[in-house]
Amino acid sequence: MSAARLPRTLLVVDDRADVRRALGRFFGTVFERVEMAATPDEALAQLERASPDVVLTDYWLGNEHPPATQLVPGWRAQFPCVKVVVLMTGTKSSALQDVEVVDAVFPKPLHLKDVRAYIEEALSR
């Protein structure tokens, strides 16, 4: 893994503020910019504004929203800037639906160094 920051933007989508803060602190040392969103609507606004290269999203964004795997195809179609989508989840992998729309799935609790290594490798392809 490189020590330098990636000249890229990461969008973190998670309904929990504590998770967003923790991921922002960690990935702020990795990416040039880290943007945050708590809801699908906020994610859309950030996608339009920030043009992120990478989206790290929770599978479950709350009872009032569809799973992220239902949102990702639309995000990718509308925002070609998104090169890599990584799903994080506390849901058992056997219960996940439509995971082929993301590039990788990481179970919670996240091993952040593994997520970072995956993203760096995926961006270098």
Domain ranges of the chain: 6-124
pLDDT of residue 3 exceeding 60, the answer is no
**Predicted TM-score (pTM) of this structure:** 0.93
Average pLDDT, rounded, for the chain: 93
In whole angstroms, give the CA distance from residue 51 to residue 9: 7
In this predicted structure, what is the pLDDT of residue 54? 98
Strands 54-58 and 104-107: unpaired
Average pLDDT over residues 94-101: 84
| CATH, domain 6-124, list 3.40.50.2300, 3.40.50.150, 3.40.640.10, 3.40.1160.10 | 3.40.50.2300
Question: What are the pLDDT digits (tens) for 32-58?
Answer: 999 999 999 999 999 999 999 999 999
